[in-house]
Structure 1
Amino acid sequence: MARIEPMESVGEMTPIPKWILVKAHEFWNRQDIKKDKKIPMQQVKESLLTEESDRMPNALVIELLHKADENEDGYLDYDEYMKFAEAASTRSRGRDTFSRAAMTIIPRNERTVEKRSYFQNYSCCPPPFFMVLATLVETGVFVYYMVDMGEPMKAAGPAPVYSPLIYHPRRRYECWRYLSYALIHSGYMHLINNLVVQFVLGIILEVVHGWWRIGTIYLSGVLFGALAQSISDPDSFLAGASAGVFSVEYAHLGNMLMNWSQMEFRWLQLVVIIVLSFSDVGFAVWDIYFNGNKTKTGHAAHLGGAIAGMTVGTYILRNFEKKKWEKYCWWASLLVYLVLIAVGIILSATLPVPGYFPYNDNAPIWQARMYYFEEKNRTH
């Protein structure tokens, strides 16, 4: 391949990044290394819409797919190609990081011109509604209870056990707590860990798949996480959005496995998720069986969130041409989740084991806060 000199400017004297032109030359060399032929536009488009586009800036792919055939003869020569490559390169900076991140979670056969253009021109309008709202509400609730308890913001605890939002083992009949506990966090590190994952992965998934899909996955993980934790550890309180975060994380894994052959960086993504999974499982095993001073981590809730993400995510995030076995997998995933939820609800309500669940606390909700501060004042 010939040595490539960086271009000086295009348009309003904007420097063109050398790496973009290098990628453009590499693409053309795979079509016509001598640079003396005209390539059918259909061939170019097929290459761009499949594996070739993994190596190309998104703005350049859009430019070529839309209007690279300047003289409208159905072919593309090297001069036409480089003209558009130079023009498109000025639009790649800043946008390309986001669009590349979005493309990694979309199967190659779903990367249409419309989707590419949407991500390239996305300006947070409309914003990723659900993840932004969840983040703001969770942060606001955390600050409110820190002020209400009169406690400084600590890395770990205390949690407002008197809150009508937290999952309370003696008030299981208040069914909203199986979802609302996700708004309560025990310490700022608990909150920050969840919010970081929500932003890094959840927002990109929401932009790609829509707020209602991600919201459904998130809440399904929160619900099943609470049921799993209440059955496995019936005396424990439960707080935090970790089950929802695990659900979103493992929904991406389910979507990636269903579209394995079409996913970009699939092995890297799989390795990252496997490492995180083994880390979570390893910590849970150590904490449950070997830690002399056990943490208050809801390991069953994390597992429940992951299972919900895999099952509900496989069902909801299907945006590709389904093969016959994939349709069966789709319905099976939905059925598994619904059965698990039904079993969890039945066991939580009617488990015939005397003394397994603590007796219900039927006192008015408002008294919980009063008792909390009375006890706090006595101990101080």
Structure 2
Amino acid sequence: MSLHKVQPEELVAMAPQHSRRVADNGFFDEIDGFKEKWARRWSKLDYDGIGRVPLERVKYYMLMETEAKFYEDKEVLELLKRVDSNEDGYINYEEYMELMLHTPKDTPTRRFLRRLAFMVVPRSARDLKTRMYLEEYSCMPPPFFVILISMAEIAFFIYYAVDMGEPVVSNGPCPVYSPLTYNPYRRREAWRYLTYMFIHSGYVHLINNLLVQLILGIPLEMVHKWWRVILVYFSGVLVGALLTSVTDPHTYLVGASGGVYAIEYAFLGNLILNWKHFYYPWVHAVFLGVLTCVDVGFAIWDTYFSVDPSNTGHMAHLGGALAGLLVGVNVLRNLEREPWEKYCWWIAFIIFAVIILSTIVLSIALPIGSFYPYPDESPLQWHKQTF
């Protein structure tokens, strides 16, 4: 028995006959153009020309192949959920076209959020479970942690801008009298190792941190869920404060940069583990590489060569980056696991544990007077000191 390979123009004629109208879901300008497009794509699936395609081939093509980037995510979902209604393990052309013609309406907001989320998802991780999670996710409720933490930082900034009674400029003033600020003279108040993230010195400091954590944090939370992002973010804040405490013991610390850097470099850890599965991984790598070089270069110049050094907490940046990379490797979703990755996880976990434990021990053991300043026992807000 010889097989006749069906050509795309024949497939168009075979398609279900619907009126020439604009499709309700907005994917197509007119039905004839729609038929031709999907006929061409069907011919790639039905490469042996028998008129039906195994379901597993459809799944593999739409989730793993490079051409899958041309498919709307909603179309992929509908195929994977509703295909093979007779449960024979195959889909034929008529079923395929019917499914495409009746794909439910999508919204621009949801499409935008999915595109944003897929920035941080490797191609092989875009399976049905991940797509369903993203598809069911919308602006209501939003990725709440990143948005709530950003709103809290804005609220505290406004409160202290009013409370200080001084004009707010690009780089100050900073309410060092706040019980939230990391104050080297009040190291025993342990909450300060985390709460300093709510205080910012000037509107440029605040805006920079908000932009980065919203642009990178929202898609990261959409894909990896809120509790993973919380672990990454607060790990960066904590390690940033601990490293600053043991390397620059007289420095006040404010700002969410530790958490922001943790989000940035958690994405780097995910990129390393899933390099071959990302679309255009070099673009992500170059972006993070340039960002790192600029930040390290500025830190060296600001510390050793600037005639008017800034008050930037460079060790907090470094601590946040280290925590984000190490914690991200361990907690972010990695849906395709390689045998060698378990060694990366253990190495990252051990290094992170060593950093935490060693900085805590040093903070307790290093002498007061010769290294740390003598503690300030005066009541909080004895005077509203600002920098």
Name the TM-score class by shorter chain: 0.7 to 0.9
Is 1:114 paired with 2:136?
no
C-alpha distance in 1, partners of 2:268/2:219?
14
Is 1:232 paired with 2:247?
yes
C-alpha distance in 2, partners of 1:233/1:322?
40
Is 1:91 paired with 2:106?
yes
* C-alpha contact (below 8 Å) 2:110/2:138 kept by paired residues: no
C-alpha distance in 2, partners of 1:359/1:17?
73
What letter matches 1:48 in structure 2?
M
C-alpha distance in 1, partners of 2:295/2:110?
34
Is 1:215 paired with 2:227?
no
C-alpha distance in 1, partners of 2:277/2:90?
27
Deviations 1:313-334 (A, max 9, x none): 1111144243332112212211
1:2 deviates by 7.7
**Partner residue of 2:217?**
202
* C-alpha contact (below 8 Å) 2:161/2:168 kept by paired residues: yes
**Partner residue of 1:47?**
61
Given the superposition, is the C-alpha separation of residues 156 and 221 from structure 1 closer, same or farther in structure 2, using an over 3 Å criterion? same
* Bigger shift: residues 33-42 or 171-180: 33-42
**Partner residue of 2:353?**
338
For residue 81 of structure 2, give the secondary structure of its aligned residue in structure 1: helix
Deviations 1:285-323 (A, max 9, x none): 221222211111111110100000011111111442433
1:343 deviates by 1.0
Given the superposition, is the C-alpha separation of residues 145 and 93 from structure 1 closer, same or farther in structure 2, using an over 3 Å criterion? closer
* C-alpha contact (below 8 Å) 1:161/1:168 kept by paired residues: yes
Is 1:356 paired with 2:371?
yes
Instruction: Please report the TM-score for the alignment, with normalisation by the length of structure 1.
Output: 0.87
Alignment of 1:44-193 (within 5 A): 44-51=58-65, 52-69=67-84, 73-88=88-103, 90-91=105-106, 93-193=108-208
1:73 deviates by 4.6
* C-alpha contact (below 8 Å) 1:213/1:316 kept by paired residues: yes
* Bigger shift: residues 295-304 or 75-84: 75-84
Q: Unpaired runs of 5+ in structure 2?
A: 1-6, 13-19
**Partner residue of 2:318?**
303
**Partner residue of 2:28?**
16
* C-alpha contact (below 8 Å) 1:23/1:55 kept by paired residues: no
Given the superposition, is the C-alpha separation of residues 11 and 352 from structure 1 closer, same or farther in structure 2, using an over 3 Å criterion? closer
1:30 deviates by 3.1
**Partner residue of 1:281?**
296
Deviations 1:140-198 (A, max 9, x none): 11100000011233222000011111111211121111111000001111111111111
What percent of counterpart residues are identical? 45
Deviations 1:17-65 (A, max 9, x none): 69x9597566434334798732222211121121343332111111111
* Bigger shift: residues 139-148 or 354-363: 354-363
For residue 176 of structure 2, give the secondary structure of its aligned residue in structure 1: coil
Given the superposition, is the C-alpha separation of residues 23 and 131 from structure 1 closer, same or farther in structure 2, using an over 3 Å criterion? farther
* C-alpha contact (below 8 Å) 1:8/1:15 kept by paired residues: no
* C-alpha contact (below 8 Å) 2:213/2:260 kept by paired residues: yes
C-alpha distance in 2, partners of 1:154/1:28?
60
C-alpha distance in 2, partners of 1:72/1:208?
31
* C-alpha contact (below 8 Å) 2:233/2:262 kept by paired residues: yes
* C-alpha contact (below 8 Å) 2:181/2:199 kept by paired residues: yes
C-alpha distance in 2, partners of 1:287/1:77?
66
For residue 246 of structure 1, give the secondary structure of its aligned residue in structure 2: helix
What letter matches 1:191 in structure 2?
L
Instruction: Please report the TM-score for the alignment, with normalisation by the length of structure 2.
Output: 0.86
**Partner residue of 2:17?**
none
Is 1:293 paired with 2:308?
yes
* C-alpha contact (below 8 Å) 2:262/2:321 kept by paired residues: yes
Paired residues in the alignment total 368
**Partner residue of 2:277?**
262
1:265 deviates by 3.1
* C-alpha contact (below 8 Å) 2:119/2:219 kept by paired residues: no
C-alpha distance in 1, partners of 2:382/2:163?
15
1:71 deviates by 5.9
Given the superposition, is the C-alpha separation of residues 305 and 277 from structure 1 closer, same or farther in structure 2, using an over 3 Å criterion? same
Given the superposition, is the C-alpha separation of residues 366 and 15 from structure 1 closer, same or farther in structure 2, using an over 3 Å criterion? closer
For residue 170 of structure 1, give the secondary structure of its aligned residue in structure 2: helix
* Bigger shift: residues 296-305 or 99-108: 99-108
Deviations 1:65-110 (A, max 9, x none): 1123466553334443334334338426442222122233223333
For residue 314 of structure 1, give the secondary structure of its aligned residue in structure 2: helix
C-alpha distance in 2, partners of 1:328/1:165?
38
C-alpha distance in 2, partners of 1:26/1:287?
58
